[in-house]
Structure 1
């Protein structure tokens, strides 16, 4: 992915890295978790003030005007530092709103640029279900729409002010914007593996605004997969960097364990897998409308991150299972993000459907 990053994006990466690094020390993360905080409000405010959270918003609303690659740059840094923030959902949701109708959502996006508005994405309804065939329904009523049904596993549900919801209409599935605290909205929040929160969203005659045309759901899912792949690459890179430092210092039999060939091979395999994930992520970013490229990036991101965090925790031995030790946090994040919006199996099934239309259904 690095070959896609020009001078401006490199400065953005350095800025995001500097802010996140200072705010994600092990002691600070442990403190947040001990308080039951699923996200870091102070860090969010600092990133918003610096413009990092609004990199892909147009200048008219206070953004930097970059594209999806800039979002990936920031999200990779988030994964690398395991920074507890509702970034990928807000950045992708607000990008989609700006792409579709900037004038209509001007006020909301101005709030997004300052960090006051946080939008999450509600796509999942049951494990393994097709994201493109929602059972939540939307019926036209007057100048708007009314939504009914239930979504599960909504990321960062406890911090969202707005939600993008997929729903079925008589003319096909579409995307709708709702207020997270609107009449008829009921939330049930649950803690997840990464120590964040997800929500069960129940909709009872909730007013919604349609976003884009029929193809908008496909764009939202595609860019969400690319965003998650970027976070997963960052998680894998961060875990490998931490482990490389550990094996160079930890000694057995009078020498660093990093000199043992078996460990070298394990970490080398992880490094190669991460490089491959970076490569296909770069391909997806150069072709953001290519469905198969997004699925390949998603699959490689999940695969490389899960494999890497398992290896790295194992290499740390007994200390790797200490829930307060940094490598355990990477392990938890790798597991959580690898199971967001599907898993490796659902990615492969979807990819086979794209490459060989009709085969999966048959």
Structure 2
């Protein structure tokens, strides 16, 4: 594989970092804490105006760049713990509609890339650990479809115009597009640890449109889950990189017994372990992203990247808080934002154990 970043990756990452660096301030973060939905509309509008949102969508929905460029944007958003739905609206819904949707659905993807609407992805279900096998159902009703079921922790659902929903049909799992404000759709905000905008969405015979042919449903869901999993790993990479920078700065500045605490062996070892963890996540994330972008088999690499996002995320996030000592548990301190964001990324779309099981299944099927 080639680890060299493309010009578009560097440019989009730099532009995203510049915009987020100006707008995502401590004061703005505190302001968002009291909002009904933790959504940074100023940052989202600025990213749209700069062309960041649509740049990495396939033509004609966007600028024609792809997954690697999307991961570069997500990494920068993770570094700023930015409260915007780039992962779900662009990487998830818009990219999938551009690939599998009909003309109308592709136009919706273009509008999302232009910042004219926000799309969402509804995957998780209570007591169902396999998003590829949904318990939500869709049944044909003449030329249309009716969707019934419940999805939990749907990001930014209250702000979306449409949701991309996984559902089971007589022909197998498939993707459906549902208007969030349509009859039979109920959105209830949920309270989660990192205070991000999450909702439960109930579907009661809600009108839905299939996305792509039903016989390609498993393919579409697999592609969506793979890209979202690597997207979480990219976001986690940015979050842990910045968190490690913060704790390293603190370890150099905090004096105890007339010495910086970073000079103590136990602290230095934990920081060194955290550095290795971040490097492992960086390697596995880019490996999975590159293989997906190149159209190569990447199931094992995706599981590996998400495992590192979860396992390394757990260790590094706790190191960030522990080395900060008493101030690390202060919910007003900046490291708490990185801690809770890392914990969210750890469990989104499955924790470490879930992806180890997936990886083990793949390895067990390999002939000796």
**Residue 183 (str. 1) matches residue 191 (str. 2):** no
Shift of 1:37: 4.4
Shift of 1:109: 2.1
Q: What number of residue pairs does the alignment pair up?
A: 357
**Residue 294 (str. 1) matches residue 293 (str. 2):** no
Deviations 1:260-318 (A, max 9, x none): 22111111101111111111111111221521111111111111122111001100011
Of 312, 326, 339, the match for 1:318: 326
C-alpha separation between the residues in 2 aligned to 1:128 and 1:171?
20
Within 5 Å, give how 1:22-61 maps onto structure 2. 22-61=22-61
Shift in CA distance, 272/2, structure 1 to aligned 2, threshold 3 Å: farther
C-alpha separation between the residues in 2 aligned to 1:146 and 1:248?
59
Shift of 1:120: 1.4
C-alpha separation between the residues in 2 aligned to 1:64 and 1:102?
19
C-alpha separation between the residues in 2 aligned to 1:8 and 1:319?
39
Could you tell me the TM-score, scaled by structure 2's length?
Answer: 0.93
C-alpha separation between the residues in 2 aligned to 1:236 and 1:16?
18
Give the secondary structure class of the aligned counterpart of 1:316.
Answer: helix
Within 5 Å, give how 1:203-242 maps onto structure 2. 203-212=203-212, 213-214=216-217, 215-242=219-246
Aligned residues of 1:80 and 1:235 also touching (Cα < 8 A): yes
Shift of 1:203: 0.6
Aligned residues of 2:58 and 2:98 also touching (Cα < 8 A): yes
Shift of 1:127: 4.1
Shift in CA distance, 102/138, structure 1 to aligned 2, threshold 3 Å: closer
Q: Give 1:20's aligned residue.
A: 20
Aligned residues of 2:93 and 2:109 also touching (Cα < 8 A): no
Q: Give 2:151's aligned residue.
A: 151
Q: Give 2:71's aligned residue.
A: 72
Within 5 Å, give how 1:252-263 maps onto structure 2. 252-263=256-267
Q: Give 1:333's aligned residue.
A: 341
Shift of 1:27: 2.1
Deviations 1:225-259 (A, max 9, x none): 11111111111111001111111111112222122
Aligned residues of 2:95 and 2:109 also touching (Cα < 8 A): no
Deviations 1:26-56 (A, max 9, x none): 2221122134541111111001111112232
Shift of 1:110: 2.8
Shift of 1:128: 5.1
Shift of 1:344: 1.0
Q: Give 2:131's aligned residue.
A: 131
Could you tell me the TM-score, scaled by structure 1's length?
Answer: 0.94
Q: Which runs of 4+ in 1 moved over 6 A?
A: none
Q: Give 1:86's aligned residue.
A: 85
Shift of 1:194: 1.5
Deviations 1:334-362 (A, max 9, x none): 1112111221111112222233249xxxx
Shift in CA distance, 181/39, structure 1 to aligned 2, threshold 3 Å: same
Give the secondary structure class of the aligned counterpart of 2:151.
Answer: strand
Of 345, 350, 367, the match for 1:342: 350
Aligned residues of 1:136 and 1:166 also touching (Cα < 8 A): yes
Q: Give 1:249's aligned residue.
A: 253
Shift of 1:59: 4.2
Shift in CA distance, 262/128, structure 1 to aligned 2, threshold 3 Å: farther
Aligned residues of 1:157 and 1:199 also touching (Cα < 8 A): yes
Aligned residues of 1:128 and 1:342 also touching (Cα < 8 A): no
Give the secondary structure class of the aligned counterpart of 2:173.
Answer: strand
Aligned residues of 1:127 and 1:342 also touching (Cα < 8 A): no
Shift of 1:155: 1.6
**Residue 282 (str. 1) matches residue 280 (str. 2):** no
**Residue 354 (str. 1) matches residue 335 (str. 2):** no
Shift in CA distance, 320/128, structure 1 to aligned 2, threshold 3 Å: farther
Shift in CA distance, 336/211, structure 1 to aligned 2, threshold 3 Å: same
Shift of 1:83: 0.9
Mind listing any 5+ residue stretches in structure 2 that lack a counterpart?
Answer: none
Q: Which moved more, 1:81-90 or 1:2-11?
A: 2-11
